[in-house]
C-alpha cells in the first residue's frame, strides 16, 4: 500500500516525507511540480517509491491506477503565494485539485490529511474553527476557505478520515526554495549573515514598529501533529495548527540575531540595544499589503487539544534557535 504526499518537494511536504521515512515508511509516492527545479534538494535525503508530476498523477488517479493501493494521502500541494492575482489559476490549483483528491479518498475510504490555512480568518481577531469567524482577505485564503466548507458538508457522511490543518506561520528547514514567501526567520538569518542587520516593517493597524504579532509554529511541531492524526484514523475534522501563542515580529528578529551571535561567541542583546546599534531596522509598510495583511493571529488550539494532542509547541525563541543552528550548518 502506498502513501501519497502531494507538494512533496515543498516545505511541509518534504518534512512529512522525511518523517514517514523515519517511521520505516518508504512506499511513498511523491507528487509535485518541479517548475522550480531546486526543490528537488528537499528530497535528496528521503526515500520514495516514485515521483509524479501533478498532471500525470491526476491522469493516473482518474484512470483508476491507484484504486485499492493507497492507504493515506497527505495533500500539501498548493499555490501558497498570498499575492497571486490570477484567481482562475488559484481556484483550479487549490480548490478543484483538492476536490478531486477528496472525491477519490471518500470513494476509496482512504485517509485524507490536507493543508488548509489560517488565512481563512482574514482580518478577524477570533481564530476558532467556526464559520462566523472566517472572512479571507485574498483569493488564496478564499480557495482554502471554500474547500473547508465542502469538507464540513461531507464529513457527516464520510466513511474514512478527513483532516484539514489550518496552518499558521510555519517556519523551519526545507523552505529555502520559497523565495520571498519563505519565513521571516529565514530572511532574517540571511540578512544578518549578509549585512549584520535585519529588517522589519514599521507599525501599522495601531501596532508599533515590529509589534504586529503572529502565531509562529516550528515545522517539527507541524509534522508531529500530522503524524498524530496518521496514528488516529478514527479522528476527523478541521483543526487550527499553530503554537497557540502570538508573538511579535520583534521576537523573531531578536531570537534570530541572538542565535547567530551565540554561534559567533557573542553575548545576547536586547531589542533596544539592537535598534540603537542599527542591527534591527524598520522599513516602510508596503502599500500593496495594506488592507490584505493579518497584523495579529493566534491559533485557538482548544479543538486540537480536545482531539487528544498533548505535545507542547516550541516558542519562537526555542524554534528559531533550532532553525538558525540548522541553517548555519547547511
Mean pLDDT to the nearest integer, 305-330: 97
Does the active-site annotation cover 121? no
Q: Which of 18, 54, 178, 199 is catalytic?
A: 178
pLDDT class for 113, splitting at 50, 70, 90? very high
Mean pLDDT to the nearest integer, 64-92: 82
Cα–Cα distance for residue pair 243/47, rounded to 1 Å: 29
* H or E segment and range at residue 3: strand 2-6
What's the pLDDT score for residue 194?
97
pLDDT class for 43, splitting at 50, 70, 90? very high
CA angle centred on 205, ends 201 and 206, rounded to 5°: 100
pLDDT higher than threshold 90 for residue 233: yes
Mean pLDDT to the nearest integer, 188-199: 97
Mean pLDDT rounded to a whole number for the chain: 94
Residue from 271, 225, 257 nearest 321 by CA: 257
- What are the backbone angles phi and psi of residue 237, rounded to the nearest 5°? 140, 180
The 3-class secondary structure across 275-305, one letter per residue, is: HHCCCEEEECCCHHHCCCCCCECCCCCHHHH
pLDDT class for 51, splitting at 50, 70, 90? very high
Strands 198-201 and 213-214: unpaired
Mean pLDDT to the nearest integer, 118-122: 93
Higher-confidence residue of 179 and 26: namely 26
Interval 242-251: pLDDT, tens: 999 999 999 9
Q: Which of 95, 97, 114, 140 is catalytic?
A: 140
Mean pLDDT to the nearest integer, 74-95: 75
Does the active-site annotation cover 290? no
Mean pLDDT to the nearest integer, 195-200: 97
Strands 50-52 and 70-75: unpaired
Q: Is the dihedral of CA 242, 26, 29, 172 positive or negative?
A: positive
pLDDT higher than threshold 70 for residue 309: yes
Cα–Cα distance for residue pair 206/125, rounded to 1 Å: 14
Strands 28-31 and 2-6: parallel
Cα–Cα distance for residue pair 172/224, rounded to 1 Å: 14
- What are the backbone angles phi and psi of residue 296, rounded to the nearest 5°? -150, 130
Mean pLDDT to the nearest integer, 139-148: 93
Angle, helix 219-231 to helix 11-22, in steps of 10 degrees: 60
Which of 35-44, 141-150, 247-256 is predicted least confidently?
35-44
Higher-confidence residue of 163 and 330: namely 163
* H or E segment and range at residue 114: strand 111-117
* H or E segment and range at residue 199: strand 198-201
Interval 274-298: pLDDT, tens: 999 999 999 998 887 777 677 899 9
Amino acid at each position: 500500500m502506498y502513501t501519497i504526499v502531494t507538494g512533496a518537494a515543498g516545505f511541509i511536504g518534504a518534512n512529512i516525507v522525511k518523517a514517514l521515512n523515519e517511521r520505516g515508511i518508504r512506499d511513498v509516492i511523491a507528487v509535485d511540480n518541479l517548475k522550480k527545479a531546486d526543490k528537488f534538494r528537499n528530497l535528496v535525503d528521503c526515500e520514495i517509491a516514485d515521483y509524479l508530476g501533478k498532471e500525470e498523477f491526476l491522469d493516473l488517479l482518474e484512470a483508476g491506477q491507484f484504486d485499492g493501493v493507497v492507504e493515506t494521502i497527505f495533500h500539501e500541494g498548493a499555490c501558497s503565494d498570498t499575492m497571486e492575482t490570477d484567481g482562475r489559476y488559484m481556484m483550479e490549483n487549490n480548490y478543484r485539485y483538492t476536490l478531486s483528491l477528496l472525491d477519490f479518498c471518500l470513494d476509496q475510504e482512504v485517509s485524507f490529511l490536507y493543508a488548509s490555512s489560517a488565512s481563512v480568518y482574514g482580518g478577524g481577531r477570533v481564530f476558532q474553527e467556526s464559520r462566523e469567524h472566517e472572512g479571507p482577505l485574498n483569493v488564496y485564503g478564499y480557495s482554502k476557505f471554500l474547500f473547508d466548507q465542502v469538507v464540513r458538508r461531507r464529513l457527516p457522511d464520510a466513511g474514512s478520515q478527513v483532516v484539514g490543518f489550518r496552518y499558521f506561520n510555519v517556519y523551519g528547514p526545507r523552505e529555502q526554495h520559497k523565495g520571498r514567501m519563505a519565513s521571516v526567520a529565514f530572511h532574517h538569518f540571511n540578512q544578518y549573515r549578509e549585512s549584520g542587520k535585519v529588517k522589519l516593517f514599521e507599525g501599522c493597524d495601531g501596532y508599533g514598529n515590529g509589534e504586529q504579532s503572529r502565531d509562529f509554529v516550528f515545522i517539527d511541531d507541524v509534522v508531529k501533529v500530522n503524524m498524530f492524526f496518521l496514528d488516529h484514523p478514527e479522528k476527523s475534522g478541521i483543526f487550527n495548527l499553530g503554537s497557540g501563542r502570538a508573538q511579535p515580529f520583534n521576537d523573531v528578529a531578536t531570537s534570530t540575531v541572538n542565535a547567530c551571535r551565540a554561534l559567533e561567541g557573542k553575548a545576547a542583546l536586547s531589542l533596544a540595544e539592537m535598534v540603537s546599534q542599527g542591527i534591527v531596522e524598520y522599513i516602510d509598510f508596503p502599500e500593496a499589503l495594506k488592507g490584505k495583511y493579518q497584523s495579529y493571529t493566534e491559533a485557538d488550539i482548544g479543538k486540537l487539544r480536545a482531539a487528544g494532542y498533548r505535545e507542547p509547541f516550541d516558542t519562537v525563541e526555542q524554534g528559531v534557535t533550532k532553525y538558525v543552528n540548522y541553517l548555519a550548518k547547511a
